[in-house]
Chain A
Amino acid sequence: MSAPWLVLDRVSKVYGDGASAVVAVREVSMELQGGRFVLLMGPSGSGKTTLLMLMGCLLKPTRGRLFLFEHEVSALDERTLPFLRRRYIGFVFQTFNLFPALTAMENVELALNLKGINGREAQRRALALLARVGLRDRLHFLPRDLSGGEKQRVALARALAGDPPILLADEPTGMLDSRTGRQIVELLADLARVEGRLVFMVTHDQRVRDLADDILFMEDGSLVARESAGDLRELVSRREGR
């Protein structure tokens, strides 16, 4: 097996300090590979989003070490984090977060522009990405004229701009009806299995568990359980002292 893409070694994140300090992520350790579709589940406030932000280099750990393709993110300067995000990470959000003034095409193009791809090449790629998510005929629609599912597809195309190996999705189906939601999750699962990406998705939706390779459970900042495909055994995987 090749080296893991993402390694968390007793990573903690504490918000604030003193009496008001909140330990949002507590000593989480894990190793993640490409080609897998991983779900993260857990009650509200258990630290799922915070963990996603750590993995996506939007936050730096308070304690512990985090490696992304062998870059030790936890040791890097804040200013190098955008570089890592551009290169390795694609984000998908519950609220889509499309730019309302930009068309579907432009939303994807802008992401490509940020990654240094410009002009005709950016247009060509944006078109291909939107075709990939099944939106060939919605290229010049503004977000307000798209359905929820279509918006999330645009967001997915935008997350795929620049071809990042890792996709991080925070409740991407939270605003969608279950049928549309499932279609999006199927797309995400394909991106892992067919295209070999690592897709890591936070969800509350029990009905998509069958599509996952791994399911992680979080509680109160800690990773408390792990369930793997075809494996109904719940193994508590606090891998401290690894």
Chain B
Amino acid sequence: MVSLARKNLFHDRVRFAVALLGIQLAVVLMTLQIGFFLKFMTNASVLIDHIEADIWITAKNLKNFDFGLPFSEQKLYEARRIPGVLWAEKFLMGFSYWKMPDGGQETIQVIGFNPETRIGAPWDIVEGDLDEVKYFTQIFIDEADRERLGFPRVGDEVEIIGQRARIAGITRGAKSFVGSPFVFTSFKNALKLSFIPPGQTVYILVKVAPGYTVQEVKEHLARTLTGVDVYTKREFSWKSRRYWLLVTGAGIALLSTALLGLLVGTVIVGQTIYASTMEHLKEFGTLKAIGASNADLYRILIAQALIMAVIGYATGMLLARAFLNVARRAGLEAYLPLEVLAGIFGLTLLMCIGASILSIYKVTKLDPALVFRS
């Protein structure tokens, strides 16, 4: 089959280039913005998503995970008495200051977990033994934060609010959203390395026993425990993400840029496809005269859209990758799972086909006499 769609596209090189530029713009904007957005979303709840608790108990009216406030440890014992609670555990999180080699201070988030049960402990250890946090003030930091903290190595001694601490190991994938590095250690050490008062906890993590639903245990806890809020893991994760998303407006900005890319791309592609169809209208009429049905004409227009989508997506993705590399070097990560890349391809297809709809309509209404005019 002679592909009139392909031949026509490559024949009008300038127009094809303009259409491709439009698609690439849309693909690059969508990929970068959605990628940053998703990274942003997962970052905002990275600990909540990785800790295997079903329910989180927090101080009242907390805004999100990063702004955790201490409350009485007494609540822990109350929680453990609720039926359906398999286990309940303290979990500390508090801001603190890390003394940099040059004498400056870096804000950090100290995380205190139970080293015996390891509930709330970092999940991906690159180097070191988690047991070590039981002794002396040993800490774990994330590989992504090493640069921020002045490249400390395992075994190095550092100073946190006047206390000496030793790097016992390195974690991976535990980067805080607010940008303050996480420092993981035991409860005992966390009290020393932060401003959390003794006898207080910041979170209570609860695991629901088999035979109970998360919802019923959550409701029971919420009824029984006063002065605290109770969330399921999903709720708390979403609350934390939503906070950064809505309150800061950053998420909205990212998503609207992605949407804008899609829109601008559609307009550019629509314009060029339409102009091209108008220019080739007589050819479509000729096709009809030599026996093509309307369906044949649609097929050509759709084929044109598909070719543009595939080439535009492929080249757009190459561009996006180049941009992402630059962004990564600047410390800006994106999260783009395969389904999202497939989704962006789907949107690109839709964009190109959508941009052809006006052309399809024009071709349907084609006046057959056109082909006889000079």
Q: Looking at chain B, what size class is its interface with the partner chain? A: 20 to 34
- Write out the residue numbers on chain A whose beta carbons fall within 8 Å of the beta carbon of B283: 97, 99-100
Q: In whole angstroms, what is the CA distance A107 to B296 when docked? A: 16
- Write out the residue numbers on chain B whose beta carbons fall within 8 Å of the beta carbon of A52: 372
B4 touches A79 (CB 8 A): no
Q: Given B282, B285, B291, which contacts A82 in the complex, CB threshold below 8 Å?
A: B291
* CB contact list, A99-114 vs B, under 8 A: 99-102, 106, 109-111, 113-114
Q: In whole angstroms, what is the CA distance A91 to B288 when docked? A: 10
* CB contact list, B4-25 vs A, under 8 A: 4, 7-8, 10-12
B282 touches A97 (CB 8 A): yes
B2 touches A113 (CB 8 A): yes
A82 touches B11 (CB 8 A): no
Residue of A nearest to B291 (CB): A86
Residue A187 is within 8 A (CB to CB) of chain B in the complex: no
Residue A165 is within 8 A (CB to CB) of chain B in the complex: no
A174 touches B374 (CB 8 A): yes
- Write out the residue numbers on chain B whose beta carbons fall within 8 Å of the beta carbon of A162: 291
Count CB-based A-B contacts (< 8 Å).
Answer: 84
B292 touches A99 (CB 8 A): no
Residue B293 is within 8 A (CB to CB) of chain A in the complex: yes
B289 touches A91 (CB 8 A): yes
Indicate the member of B7, B286, B368, B369 with the most A CB atoms within 10 Å: B286
Q: Chain B: interface secondary structure?
A: helix
Residue B338 is within 8 A (CB to CB) of chain A in the complex: no
Check A85/B286 contact, CB under 8 A, given A53-B368, A101-B8, A110-B2: no
Nearest-neighbour CB distance to chain A for B277, whole angstroms, equals 14
Residue B336 is within 8 A (CB to CB) of chain A in the complex: no
Q: Given B1, B7, B8, B12, which contacts A113 in the complex, CB threshold below 8 Å?
A: B1
- Write out the residue numbers on chain A whose beta carbons fall within 8 Å of the beta carbon of B289: 56, 58, 85, 91, 93, 97
- Write out the residue numbers on chain B whose beta carbons fall within 8 Å of the beta carbon of A170: 372
Residue B290 is within 8 A (CB to CB) of chain A in the complex: yes
Q: In whole angstroms, what is the CA distance A158 to B2 when docked? A: 14
Interface string of A89-132 (1 = CB under 8 A from B): 11101110101111000100111011100100000000000000
- Write out the residue numbers on chain B whose beta carbons fall within 8 Å of the beta carbon of A114: 287, 290-292, 296
A106 touches B290 (CB 8 A): no
Residue A135 is within 8 A (CB to CB) of chain B in the complex: no
A93 touches B291 (CB 8 A): no
Q: In whole angstroms, what is the CA distance A239 to B368 when docked? A: 28
Return 11 A-B CB contacts under 8 Å, by A number: A79-B293, A82-B293, A91-B371, A94-B372, A97-B289, A99-B8, A99-B286, A101-B7, A106-B7, A114-B292, A161-B290
Interface residues of B (CB under 8 A from A): 1-2, 4, 7-8, 10-12, 282-283, 285-294, 296, 368-369, 371-374
Assuming A93-B371, A97-B282, A174-B374, what are 20 further A-B pairs, CB within 8 angstroms? A52-B372, A59-B368, A86-B291, A90-B290, A94-B372, A97-B285, A97-B289, A99-B4, A99-B7, A99-B286, A101-B7, A101-B11, A102-B2, A102-B4, A102-B7, A106-B7, A111-B290, A111-B291, A170-B372, A175-B374
